[in-house]
Amino acid sequence: MGRKKTRRKPLATIWEVPDELWRRIEPILKEFWPRKSTGRPPAHLRQTLNGIIFRMRSGCQWDQLPAKYGPKSTVHGWFQRWAEGGVFEKIWAVLVAECDELGGVQWKWQAADGMLGKARFGGGKRRARTPPTAGNQAPRSTS
């Protein structure tokens, strides 16, 4: 008879980055966008990341972000930069490693579902448009 697995408490849902996790993520963000000695001060990166997490989890529009996350244009701008720069993939790798260390990932049960993605550029054969028939048109009035 095998050993009985101890049941672990599920991990809490992340709405804001906890301090311990922030210490692991902050170097990734600073490496991507190092602080310059002159010019405008950069956005508060943790506040911005929390705004992005809130937006992704809640599904709200960018212009509906609570004010505590900073200006919506700043949060959206950093989201665009980080998405294009591959920063989220690096953060994702840290999160997966963190969850794996805590035993929060059961790899044999992971799956991806492509049903939510829309078909890009059609995907099927296009049917020929049916020309209108004379019977479907209203008679024209002459004045």
Please report whether residue 112 resides in a domain.
Answer: no
Report if residue 76 sits inside a domain. Answer: yes
Domain span at 66: 44-105
Residue 50 pLDDT: 95
In a domain, 87, yes or no: yes
Instruction: Classify residue 142 by its DSSP letter.
Output: -
67 falls within a domain: yes
Q: Is residue 14 a part of any domain in this protein?
A: no
Q: What value does the mean pLDDT of the chain take? A: 79
For residue 6, what pLDDT band results from cuts at 50, 70 and 90? low
Q: CB within 8 A of 11, min separation 6: which ones?
A: 99, 102, 104
Q: Residue 64 CA to chain centroid, in angstroms?
A: 16
Summarize pLDDT for 11-41 with one digit per residue, the tens.
677 788 889 889 999 999 989 887 777 777 7
* Residue 68, SS3 per DSSP: helix
Indicate whether 78 belongs to any domain: yes
d(C-alpha 14, C-alpha 16), whole Å: 6
Residue 31 resides in a domain:
no
Question: Are the beta carbons of 43 and 78 closer than 8 angstroms?
Answer: yes
Amino acid at 134: A
Tell me the average pLDDT across 79-83: 94
Claim: this prediction has a pTM higher than 0.85: no
The residues, any chain, with a CB within 8 Å of residue 22's CB and separated by 6 or more, are 46
Residue 113: predicted pLDDT:
60
Report the number of distinct structural domains present in the chain.
1
Domain annotation covers residue 9:
no
